[in-house]
Amino acid sequence: MYNARERYQMQESMAASGDDDMTELAISSLPLETRCPPYPLRQHGGFWFSEPFLPAVAAARARFEARTSDVLLASFPKSGTTWLKALAFATLHRTDNPTLSLDHPLRRRNPHDCVEFLEEAFASLSPEDSGGDVLAGLPSPRLLATHLPYTHLPKSVTAAEGTGCKIVYICRDPKDALVSKWLFTKKKLAFAAVDDNPPKPYPIDEMFELFCDGRCTCGPQWHHVLGYWEASRRQPEKVLFLRYEEMLRDPAGSVRKLAEFMGCAFSGEEEAAGVAEDVVELCSMDTLKNMEVNKNGTQNYVKNEAFFRKGVVGDWSNHMTPAMAARLDKIVEDALQGSGFAFGATAESA
């Protein structure tokens, strides 16, 4: 019986052993899961990934060259990713894009268009493509995002101390992440459907069983979180670990912490002018969801409005039974035993 730390060390070892061979033949040999719409999943290095994206994961790992000035926003899907992208973008680029400007990029573009996903940037490459870093042309400081587990990050990101880049990770209670992921998946399925072929029903019971077994994109969720939490304990100057629930309780304080970590702390003049509070207001759920681009715009797989639902804590209780919640809590508790990490713990006690 392995404890949480031993299991994670095994995942690190699996992810590092011949993991960049993502030819069609190699992918077809990986464990397959077909019950998670919209794409089949393959298990690699202890985690499950959308099959079509595995070549991009390998390409990003092999070719992305991190700069010390880069900031990488990491998260398990549906854990506050959109909000973190908006907050980080508005904070890091506030000199060139004043928060109160009516022409601010976040008023014209979805946060996912302002901060690109690392693995998506490499998705257009074919397995035979011998090109280099497709993000090399972006000026510093580069702000990027990823859903990859820590064990699967590009080697240049997790390089030895003094190299690599800074990582900001946001985690969320597994029950709320599950419900948000389920509802978002249903919207993706509806977006992809055609009139004469409506999407199949996807009840939460199906998502729940798969999630509990860790069979979801980038799952198991709790192992995804644990990898970044342990990295933040080893290198707090390099990995900032944030909890979604704490950020909601003190958004302005979280923005200040984020700014300091990214190397662009608010000046005394900015504090007096309430710039941190302005960033919070610009990036609030209500403000962003009412932007024209987010009411009517689309990504290539879903409407922009799908990224702005409630953004609250505890919405799982409106979709899951107490028995389901208790079962998931117990699975997570058992899986994390011996790690020192617990969901719901404060930053001081974790």
Give, for all 350 residues of the chain, the pLDDT tens digit. 445 555 545 555 555 544 567 787 789 999 999 999 999 999 999 999 999 999 999 999 989 999 999 999 999 999 999 999 999 999 999 999 999 999 999 999 999 999 999 999 998 765 556 567 899 999 999 999 999 999 999 999 998 666 789 999 999 999 999 999 999 999 999 888 866 677 888 999 999 999 999 999 999 999 999 999 999 999 999 999 999 999 999 999 999 999 999 999 999 999 999 999 999 999 999 999 999 999 999 998 899 999 998 888 999 999 999 999 999 999 999 999 999 999 986 544 44
Q: Is the pTM of this model over 0.85?
A: yes
The domain ranges of the chain are 4-335
| CA 50 from centre of chain | 14
Query: What is the pairing mode between strands 47-50 and 71-75?
Result: unpaired
Burial of 124: CB neighbours in 10 Å, binned 0-12, 13-18, 19+: exposed
- Residues 223 and 226: their CA atoms lie apart, in Å, by 5
Q: Which of 104, 147, 223, 224 is catalytic?
A: 147
Active site residue 147: yes
- Sign of the torsion angle spanned by Cα atoms 267, 268, 269, 273: positive
Q: In the structure, how many helices (H) and strands (E) does the chain have? A: 17, 7
CATH of span 4-335 = 3.40.50.300
Judged by DSSP in three states, 139 sits in coil
Confirm if 238 and 167 have CB atoms less than 8 A apart.
yes
